[in-house]
Amino acid sequence: MSRPFAHHKFSAVRTERDGISFPSKAEAARFDQLKLLEKAGDVVGFMRQPVFYLPGGTRYVADFLIFWSGGRVTAEDVKGMETEGFKIKFREVKAAYPWMEFELFKAGR
């Protein structure tokens, strides 16, 4: 029995780049931008889905960890829509890792 295609509740469209499956077009587009920034020398390198452990046994998974050529390191999340759950975890991770820069990259920006 076949199942109907499940739609994402926020209309995100799964997209593939370089053999990597991204949960949204926005995240794939940011990946493309980061690759260009890397090629231009603005970014030394970046990682996908770094995990940050939070008090209480929960964890926060960012979309990218970016190493900038000037020495900055940022954890970045790409969002088209911010849920209340995301806002809470985003505040928690910033409080748990005060020395780390966490940024929100709005889709369409």
**Domain with 38 in it:** 15-106
Q: How far apart are CA 87 and CA 73, in angstroms?
A: 21
In a domain, 75, yes or no: yes
pTM: 0.81
For residue 60, what are the CA distances in angstroms to 25, 33, 44, 92, 108? 21, 23, 24, 9, 23
Q: Reduced to 3 DSSP states, what percent helix, strand and coil does the chain have, rounded to the nearest 5?
A: 30, 35, 40
In a domain, 2, yes or no: no
Non-local (6+) Cβ contacts of 68 within 8 A are 42, 43, 44, 74
Q: What is the CATH number of the domain that holds 101?
A: 3.40.1350.10
Kindly give the confidence (pLDDT) of every residue in the chain, 109 residues in length, as a single tens digit, with 9 standing for 90 and above.
Answer: 444 444 445 556 677 777 777 778 888 889 999 999 999 999 999 999 999 999 989 999 999 999 999 999 999 999 878 889 889 999 999 999 999 999 998 876 5
Non-local (6+) Cβ contacts of 14 within 8 A are 8, 21, 22, 23, 24
What domain count does the chain have?
1
